[in-house]
Amino acid sequence: MAGNYQESHGKIQNLGSRCQPNALHSTKPIGSFLGLGSVIDDLWETAIAPNTRQAYNTGFNNFILLLAGIMASVNLSNLQVTEDMLIYFVAHCYNLKLSYATIKLYMCGIKFMCLKHNIPFPSSAELRRMYAILGGVKRARGKISRPRYPVTFNILKDVGLCGYLRQKATSFEDLMMQTACIVAFFGFLRCGEFTVKTSFDHTVHLCVSDLIITDEYVMVHLKKSKTNPFREGVKLKLFKVGGILCPYVACCNYVSARLRQNPSPDDPLFIVDNGQALTRSIFIAKFKHVLQCIGINSELYNGHSFRIGAATSAAAAHVEDHLIKVLGRWSSDAYCRYIRTPQSCIREAQIALTKH
When computed from its CA atoms, the radius of gyration of the chain, rounded to whole angstroms, is 25
Structural domain boundaries of the chain? 2-141, 153-346
One DSSP character per residue, 47-115 reads: TS-HHHHHHHHHHHHHHHHHHHHHSS---GGG----HHHHHHHHHHHHHTT--HHHHHHHHHHHHHHHH
Residue-wise pLDDT for 312-354, tens only, equals: 888 888 888 878 888 888 766 655 655 555 666 656 655 554 5
Which amino acid is present at 195?
A: T
For the entire predicted model, the pTM comes to: 0.64
- Which pLDDT score is estimated for 30? 59
Looking from the CA of 168 toward its CB, the CA atoms found within 13 Å total 18
Q: Bin 52: left if φ > 0, else alpha if -120 < ψ < 50, else beta.
A: alpha
Topology of 153-346 in CATH?
A: hpI Integrase; Chain A (1.10.443)
The C-alpha atoms of residue 151 and residue 126 are separated, in whole angstroms, by 47
The pLDDT-based confidence of 248 (bands split at 50, 70, 90) is very high
- Which pLDDT score is estimated for 31? 56
Residue-wise pLDDT for 202-231, tens only, equals: 988 999 999 999 998 999 999 876 656 556
Instruction: Quickly count: other Cβ atoms within 10 Å of residue 16's Cβ.
Output: 23
Top-confidence residue, 231 or 232: 232
Starting at the edge strand found earlier in the chain, the sheet holding 211-213 runs: 211-213, 217-222, 234-239
Residue 34 clears pLDDT 70, i.e. is over it: no
Q: Average pLDDT for residues 21-50, to the nearest whole number? A: 69
Highest mean pLDDT among 41-45, 100-104, 308-312, 343-347: 100-104
Nearest to residue 244, comparing CAs of 137, 157, 327, 305?
157
What average pLDDT does the chain have?
82
Residue-wise pLDDT for 141-194, tens only, equals: 876 666 778 888 888 886 678 878 877 767 899 999 999 999 999 999 999 999
- Tell me the percentage of the chain whose pLDDT exceeds 70: 78
- Which pLDDT score is estimated for 313? 87
Residue 24 clears pLDDT 70, i.e. is over it: no
- Which pLDDT score is estimated for 231? 60
The C-alpha atoms of residue 250 and residue 62 are separated, in whole angstroms, by 47
CA dist list (Å): 109 to 37, 73, 112, 122: 22, 22, 5, 14
* C-alpha dihedral, 250 to 256 to 260 to 261, nearest 10°: 40
Nearest to residue 283, comparing CAs of 295, 298, 296, 294?
298
Residue-wise pLDDT for 267-295, tens only, equals: 999 999 999 999 999 999 999 999 998 89
Residue-wise pLDDT for 122-134, tens only, equals: 999 999 999 999 9
- Which pLDDT score is estimated for 167? 76
